[in-house]
Amino acid sequence: MTWTVAAIDLGASSGRVLIGTLSADGVLTVDECSRFPNAPVRVPFDSGDDLQWDVLSLWEGIRAGLREAARRGPVDAVGIDTWGVDYGLLDADGRLLGNPMSYRSERTATAVERVHSALPPEELYALNGIQFQPFNTMFQLVADTCLARDALTRQMLLIPDLLGYWLTGQRICEVSNASTTGLIDPATRRWSPRILTTLREGLHADVPAILPPLVEPGTVVGPVHLGSVDLRTHTGAPSPLIAVASHDTASAVVAVPATHDHSDPGATFGFISSGTWSLVGVELDAPVRTPASRRANFTNELGLDGTVRYLKNITGMWVQQECLRQWRDEDAGRQMPWPEVTAETEAATPMRTLFDVNDPVFAAPGVMTTRIDEWAERAGEPIPRHRGEYLRSITESLVVAYRRALREATRLSGSAIGAVHVVGGGSKNRLLCQLTADATGLPVVAGPVEGTAVGNMLVQLRAIGALRGGLDALRLVVERSVETDHYAPTPGAEVLWDEAERRVLNPRRTPAA
Ligand code: ADP
Ligand code: LRH
């Protein structure tokens, strides 16, 4: 028998609904039902503006995608994964209190200070193992307690769980995404009592009261209701929503076509989930919460089947996306097609301008090239002269960050990496993959491009009994089903990247004007 599942997969640059069909011989085929843009939207208020998600247009894209999936045939299950940390707030009737804020909306500075005065960063990290980012859900929630809508708030739902509530009427909180809140103890996989008590009693932020019950990935949430369209399984029953590993990175790592080398307990694979963000690290059985890990700003997010994703968030293709958006606006709406982006990047002078992609100056939306120019000028790096040089400098600067993160991940976790797997849109970037192999001295395996959706589908398929086994068994399905590209490190190239890393980490800084 064949099985068909629908994955709703929302990234920060686009959303998509894909259907996956598992054949009787265990091969998964993926087809797209709909794709729609996503980007934070600037919305003014009395004393400034916010960046908010246009959740209603995402909802419309999802419904259109599911209607198309139903038109194509039976749907045995549905799953949702999205970017982490952000959420919607509901009132007592379950109505959404305004658009969810984007994590790029800078509103948490005071909240960060308040939380850190009650729980110093060292203590907090020992509890939640989550890297400090000013947009972690806990800081956003504390910031929200100062807003008028706080009086009406009865529940917080993370984005996949909010959409799941709209599809099923059931409110839950899936734990892989919950780990990005900063409120979870990664060893117990439960809300951290100490953090919750501190927020409620120390900061008068009654966060515990608005948290839904936690569930592990693979839990059946309930039947999907889609208005006039019936979503039915092969047996004619209403299609169930499965809580998949609903953090997009968690789903992406499920779909890495690699299996642990069980003969060597220390050996693992490195992963780079490369989309708007680049999430770079290794999969572990237990969190690492050492002071060295905190100083390196490594995070312990939760994955499928008790795993921990030990990784670093790197500002990823966001910088490239914002450059492309800027040039589209400058060119009267003409979008540079991918072949042109690739050709210009590959033709540009190598290693000319390098910068620290993780510098917070690159976080906000808006004109990006001037921010790269200013960084380069201060660091004594040459200013890019044309689009190809900007694109090349972004690719190479990302590779510097990848190499450093992979080295730190192995050092801090005591694991060894045999190969690096690149999944997500960045796996289509040939130069990025080849340079990652060169800079790390490790073989790189690129694909699947739709890793998040594939991981989402695999967890659904297991939950409905179409697949059995642990992560290795799920990853074998990916190996069997998806074509990957392989990049071998160029002999002798690694040493060039030592100097590249030095230029980024210790630039010849000139004082800012
Ligand atoms: P997200 O899930 O965060 O929205 P994706 O995984 O969809 O991100 O990746 C989007 C990124 O993939 C783009 O910003 C771009 O850098 C890269 N990408 C997509 N298609 C191509 C392509 N044809 N060639 C090179 N890069 C590509
Ligand atoms: C990647 C991601 C990542 C970030 C978050 C804001 O899409 O989920 O984990 O922390 O978006």
> Separation of 414 CA from ligand 1 center, angstroms?
31
Residues in the ligand 1 pocket, defined by CB under 6 Å = 11-14, 275-276, 317, 320-321, 338, 342, 424-426, 428-429
User: Among residues 50, 81, 161, 248, which one is catalytic?
Assistant: 248
For ligand 2, atom 11: residue with the closest CA: 83
> Separation of 315 CA from ligand 1 center, angstroms?
14
- What values do phi and psi take at 466, rounded to 5? -80, -25
Instruction: State yes or no: is 472 an active-site residue.
Output: no
Q: What string of pLDDT tens digits covers the 513 residues of the chain?
A: 899 999 999 999 999 999 999 999 999 999 999 999 999 999 999 999 999 999 999 999 999 999 999 999 999 999 999 999 999 999 999 999 999 999 999 899 999 999 999 999 999 999 999 999 999 999 999 999 888 888 999 999 999 999 999 999 999 999 999 999 999 999 999 999 999 999 999 999 999 999 999 999 999 999 999 988 889 999 999 999 999 999 999 999 999 999 755 556 557 899 999 999 999 999 999 999 999 999 999 999 999 999 999 999 999 999 999 999 999 999 999 999 999 999 999 999 999 999 999 999 999 999 999 999 999 999 999 999 999 999 999 999 999 999 999 999 999 999 999 999 999 999 999 999 999 999 999 999 999 999 999 999 999 999 999 999 999 999 999 999 999 999 999 999 999 999 999 999 988 766 554
- Cβ neighbours for 99, distance < 8 A, ≥ 6 positions apart: 41, 43, 52, 53, 54, 55, 56
Query: Distances from the Cα of 440 to the Cαs of 92, 272, 311, 346, 420, in angstroms?
Result: 52, 12, 16, 20, 9
> Separation of 233 CA from ligand 1 center, angstroms?
32
Residue with tokens 């110093």: 120
Ligand 2 pocket, residue 103 CB under 6 Å: yes
Tokens of 65: 């995608």
Q: Using the Cα atoms of residue 396, residue 397, residue 402 and residue 407 in order, give the sign of their dihedral.
A: positive
Find the ligand nearest to 131 CA.
2
123: helix, coil or strand? helix
pTM of the model: 0.97
Find the ligand nearest to 337 CA.
1
Ligand 2 pocket, residue 389 CB under 6 Å: no
> Separation of 50 CA from ligand 2 center, angstroms?
19
